[in-house]
Amino acid sequence: MNKKVKQEIKTEETDTKELTINSLESLGPYILEQDNAKNFVYVSDVPQLCKDEPCMLGVDEAGRGPVLGPMVYGIAFCPLSKKDILKQLGFADSKQLTEEKRDQIFDEMNRKDYAVEALGWAVEAISPNVISMNMLRRTKHSLNEVSMDSAIGLINAAIEAGVNIAEVYVDTVGPPEKYQAKLKAIFPKFKITVAKKADSTYPIVSAASIAAKVTRDHALKVWKFRERPNEEENSFGSGYPGDPTTKQFLGEIDLVFGFPRLVRFSWSTASNALEKKAYDMEFEEEPDAKASQKATYGSERLSKYFSASKNENRKRHEYFRDRCLEHVAEI
**Confidence tier at 17 by pLDDT (50, 70, 90):** very low
Residue 275 lies in a domain: no
Q: Residue 273: name the closest of 294, 296, 255, 288 by CA.
A: 255
Q: Are 73 and 205 in contact (CB under 8 A)?
A: no
pLDDT digits (tens, 9 = 90+) for 29-38: 999 999 999 9
pLDDT digits (tens, 9 = 90+) for 152-205: 999 999 999 999 999 999 999 788 999 999 999 999 999 999 999 999 999 999
Residue 283 lies in a domain: no
Residue 228 lies in a domain: no
Of 10-14, 158-162, 201-205, 292-296, the least confident: 10-14
Residue 53 has pLDDT above 50, yes or no: yes
Residue 16 has pLDDT above 80, yes or no: no
Residue 129 lies in a domain: yes
Structural domain span for residue 149: 24-222
Mean pLDDT confidence for 274-296: 66
Q: What pLDDT was estimated at residue 300?
A: 55
Give the up-direction half-sphere exposure of residue 322: CA atoms within 13 A in the CB hemisphere. Answer: 3
Residue 15 lies in a domain: no
Give the up-direction half-sphere exposure of residue 145: CA atoms within 13 A in the CB hemisphere. Answer: 9
Give the residue with greater pLDDT, 3 vs 265: 265
> What is 105-118 written as a DSSP string?
HHHHHHH-HHHHTT
Q: Are 253 and 278 in contact (CB under 8 A)?
A: yes
Q: Are 95 and 216 in contact (CB under 8 A)?
A: no
Q: What pLDDT was estimated at residue 281?
A: 74
pLDDT digits (tens, 9 = 90+) for 65-86: 999 999 999 999 999 999 999 9
Rounded to the nearest 5 percent, the helix, strand and coil shares of the chain are: 40, 15, 45
Q: Which distant-in-sequence residues (6+ apart) come within 8 Å of 103 by Cβ? A: 24, 214, 217
Total domains in the chain come to 1
pTM passes above 0.85: no
Residue 7 lies in a domain: no
- Phi and psi (nearest 5°) for 321? -65, -45
Q: Return d(Cα 71, Cα 216) in angstroms, integer.
A: 7
Residue 165 lies in a domain: yes
Give the residue with greater pLDDT, 204 vs 273: 204
Query: What is the number of other CB atoms lying within 10 angstroms of the CB of residue 217?
Result: 21
Percent of the chain with pLDDT over 70: 78
CATH number, domain of 124, equals 3.30.420.10
The enclosing H or E element of 215 equals helix 203-221
Q: Return d(Cα 285, Cα 288) in angstroms, integer.
A: 9
Residue 308 has pLDDT above 60, yes or no: no
Is 288 in a helix, a strand, or coil? Answer: coil
Residue 14 has pLDDT above 50, yes or no: no
Is 60 part of any known ligand binding site? yes
Q: Return d(Cα 151, Cα 135) in angstroms, integer.
A: 18
Residue 317 lies in a domain: no
Is 171 part of any known ligand binding site? yes
Is 84 part of any known ligand binding site? no
